[in-house]
Structure 1
């Protein structure tokens, strides 16, 4: 009686073949999902939404109050003209007068206007010397309009500049740290004009991929449609996904984008090898494959060493003469320890690196080998030279 009970319990605890297959399949799917989650990226990290972008501003102005380190007006006529124009606007007439000052510098002011920046908010600016000023330390930027590419003024800058570098020295030596002719002003510009872009009122919008790719574009569209439950996204080209607000059950485009930017997508990329020959840097993408190829690397080195010696006659010799005798040592090294390595078809990135490292190859020689493999048609990747 007890044996039968034990057998029945054992049958219940031991899974059947069908149940075991289901458990294995579930485990495989779990591992695959974990690996996919580790390589996936958010949509907001691999793409940009139309209209949500920075805008570049630039302006021309004057920095005053310098301690004799400004532009020399004789070498910078634009500084003199700007100074005269500024004084005239302030009611000071300098027509026909010669201005001599080295406390003023002409500068270019640059700034980045973030998207949807409202009127009255402040942004940081960068001030860069335009003339032959030596140092902008202690200067003050006077009112400078900042314009965008359309010629309209979007901000006005003014404030005391902050220089990270400095210059100090005397008659015989000068020490310079950093770049004293470039400065920053935190919150140095006030936004006076807003960009007319109503994101919430849009019924359709485009998503632009930072790295255009057909597969990635389609994956984004599929992820959006699967999440929303309707066909609201369509891949238009390798760099663009078009969104339609209709059918998304969202009141405006902001709500739709807030959901989409957090979706996880596994971006695809072409097989590429990036090479910087000057620094010897090699970056190999994970999709790089190599067909069957044999690689041998060896260098012929000829070393010639001259060690001349002095030959003197024996003591009390009447006909002897001191001469210099040449001694030449020639050594030829063919690197016989180098071996021929065979890389099998469709090896992975790790196999390629291991095979090249087995030859004792440095980065410089590896660059030449990768280019030779590509020339032989065995490297299934694009080589990009920096």
Structure 2
């Protein structure tokens, strides 16, 4: 990776037909691409009457039977009892060689019956000996010196289109969970249309991501849409070790009816989803002029996010008048930068990197998400932070 880059954030797509439900952060990362994933920051620009909602999808906590038992167990969501301050021992972002594995075995083995000659035999390359001691897959440690993401923190945004309040989007960090034997952040977003917009188009959407505590990449992404013209349950499981994602999408649309898709797709290890990318950005250095890039996976497809640090500026926020970092997110598809209209993201220029504003130019007008309330959450040492 070239100097000055850091790695990717997630993004998605939106319908460019009416009625429209826009995903703010998705638009920021990948505007003008079809097939709406109404999640991260729901933005509405709708026409027509709401009418009767489509039938809801039966949401089950069980994974499909076609999914191997190994993966079902790996991506099971479990409560975590691990102390938030305890860090895992893995630090490498890539597999280590058989030779390195043997050295580790020699240093750590307490079995006196295991002779050095036996261990050395396993280190030979070019044959079955390599299979006897497979490469050990280890995860990156990207922990920032100061963690900006605190448990119980909450952002509440007002979404406006042409100056009219379209709805609210709430992001909150829930208690830690365990997945794939690793501690993960559990982040949930909910989007609810305003009473006025609900007369035209109603939505009550939820999106969840499970972000590796040490590696700061996504393990699992879940999107549930409950809207006037569509109901959807979309699940993605990201297996960085096998470099693949399992994508299960159930979609009921008024005009097209019900469809279901279950597929495996190749991905880059340690990718972001379209919500985890926002939290990942809060953890990386952002000097003015820098360009941050990283891999993102959405709906089984891989992209590259390119985020330019434009400038610093002062904004009025619920926290008072604060210094902010202005970012310009763009999308690179198959190595080609997509120019589809300017979008911007504002983060506080401090240790917390709160999201205070998002702005995206769409085909007609501009969609804006403005922070209207923030709960700083619990300090890493415990207790509530001063508001």
- TM-score category by the smaller chain? under 0.3
User: Where is the helix percentage greater, Structure 1 or Structure 2?
Assistant: 1
User: Where is the strand percentage greater, Structure 1 or Structure 2?
Assistant: 2
TM-score of the superposed pair, with normalisation by structure 1: 0.17
TM-score of the superposed pair, with normalisation by structure 2: 0.16
Q: Say which one has the larger Rg.
A: 1
